[in-house]
Amino acid sequence: MVMDINEIREYLPHRYPFLLVDRVTQLTTGESIVAYKNVSINEPFFNGHFPHHPIMPGVLVLEALAQVCGILGFKTVNKLPADGYVYYLVGSDNVRFKRPVMPGDKLTLEADVIKGKRGIWKFACRAKVDGELACEAEIICAERKVA
């Protein structure tokens, strides 16, 4: 299964400049997802992080991973933000940053379901650049009705 940016926008309520997923390349409902973000020098955060040595803030790498977790969660339970649901990032454990993410990188985002119960999901996540690990984390998301 492949999702382009138009379908991704149906499954994530985020919009520019906070939508951090460009394409989903693999998705197995209830199991795993692989997606990517093309990192461009035009990203607004590069103006201040850091002007002479631009790197993507680690918290935004973690946010990008959380967004793919949200897509996988929504696809698994067959719900949409338009139905009044949202996935909140409620926790992260064992977060480790291994290399900087820089302009021009293609950030591959991977998440595997560890467990899901009553709207609380735990995922094993990895962010990679050219196959090299940039970040790993366990991410916890909670599905909530907001409308």
Measured CA to CA, the distance from residue 19 to residue 4 in angstroms comes to: 13
Q: How far apart are CA 127 and CA 59, in angstroms?
A: 12
Active-site residue list? 49
Angstrom distances, CA of residue 107 to CA of 30, 58, 62, 103: 23, 12, 11, 10
Contacts of 132 (CB under 8 A, 6+ apart): 98, 99
CA pair distance 48, 126, nearest whole angstrom:
25
CA distance 107 to 128: 6
Distances (CA, A) of 139 to 18, 41, 48, 74: 18, 27, 27, 15
